[in-house]
Structure 1
Amino acid sequence: MNTDTAREPEHRVANRSDGLLWGFTIRDLDHAARHAIVAAHATMDARTAYDLAWEGAVLHLAEAEAAPTYRDLFIAGWKAILRDIQQGARMRGTQTENGYDEAMPRFVRYWDQKSIPSHENGIVERLALPQVLPHLTQLQLRCLAALASVGDYQAAADLIGVSYPALHGRIAHARRNFLALWFEHEEPPRIRPDRRVGSRAKPLSTRCGQGHEFTPENTLWNERLVNGRLRRTRKCRRCMSDYMAEYRARAKAAAS
């Protein structure tokens, strides 16, 4: 918590004819509530946060057995906002430790009770798989077995002694044949890209396509959500600068 904002307001004077308990005024409570909102970094609407901080400061002022300081009022308002945030998170089954919202284990255990899965998929697989596999060629089966054993396209191609494009093409053809037979008399679903393309075990390249080194100063990371998942991609700052310079030169030439 940053308490730098919890300083005595400069407007305080000795004469407090309109004072509340312990000589504080409405203006003092207003300042304490506003400082508490800033320190709490609350995402709730400002009016709700202000009301919570105001109530916390007033209650502390009324219940104090000794003269409180302005800092005491500020902290009381700040704690009131945090208590409301924690109560809301507890009601939703989340915890806000370390600055992240995470599902509480007991909440998940109670509400995420999965129903007993159907045995239909297992029965269909045991009956249909032996009927579909014989329609694939031995070479396709060999490629599929190699990929399943090593989990990487390049490693599977090296294992059976073929090139990467050859392995990729045979597996793609085998997938299409398999789906056409599996979903016979139906329209097969669209084939999704295999996430093993570009092995995860392969280290990131140290240079861009133009040969520029990916140094911390020359690397721009871009983050975006794709189908609910966070994807990070790298861009070369020098390539971007060269492209913008070329673009401006073309625009200038076209304008002249």
Structure 2
Amino acid sequence: MNAPLLSTPRVEPFFFDAEPGTRFCLYHAPNPHVEPRGAILYVHPFAEELNRTRRMASLQSRAFAAMGYTVLQIDLFGCGDSCGEFNAGRWELWKLDLGVAARWLRDRTNGPLLLWGVRLGGLLALDFAQHAQVAGLILWQPFMSGRACINQFLRLRLAELQQNAPANAPRSTAALRAQLAVHGVIEVGGYEVAVPLVKAIDACHASNIKLPPCTVHWFANGDPVSPRLIATAGALATQWANDGVTLHFHTVNGAEFWGGDDVIECTALLDATSAVFSGSAS
């Protein structure tokens, strides 16, 4: 991977070579006027949520860089401006991409490495962290169940079908999954996903993930946050504590920046995240 030139703090786009093809990245140089804090690797959401959250990711990346963090945003294979078709994306390939990006950051920073995952990117970051040396994770509204993510994705297809649906159109996520099994791919909102990726995502659940000792900051939007989500966080905190993992669960009263057709800013989430990480690097 070729490094961008360093000078004053700025955002610099670049590509690096990876098998197969190239990956698009945004590099946020740390503020040279503050003590270096370490590095943060951003793990983006799934499908169209990547585009809907770019504004929030950019704002928080700049905030992290101003605090002294080196930040790298990467578009994974088949996503965003990286090479490859979305239907060729694979869970294990995405983890390989994160491995290359993490090594790039470690070559350029001496401080701790943090993973920052949004939505399905949070679950991907957790899965990747099982075999990576990370000091901590930042999770924005993460999916703790891959199957829940895929079901939500498929419900978008059901909504599409309701508008101009023939009588024999699928009426449930189970029916769409059966259709996927037969055809090998399914298209939802312009994104075509293949069976291998769906199976890998379905199989991933936070309760089955064994993290190395680290600190996890989970930020959840909601007014109020559902009791079920709070219970899930509590159960994971207890489970992970046995392995030396500390989970902090932060509730935020803000807009659902990952959904809808418009670009949404959630100032409350930006403020809450920056408040936590402007202190210690943990």
- TM-score scaled by length of structure 2: 0.17
Higher relative contact order (CA 8 A, sep 6+): 2
Greater helix fraction, Structure 1 or Structure 2: 1
Q: Which has the larger radius of gyration?
A: 1
State TM-score, norm by structure 1.
0.18
Q: Greater strand percent: which structure? A: 2
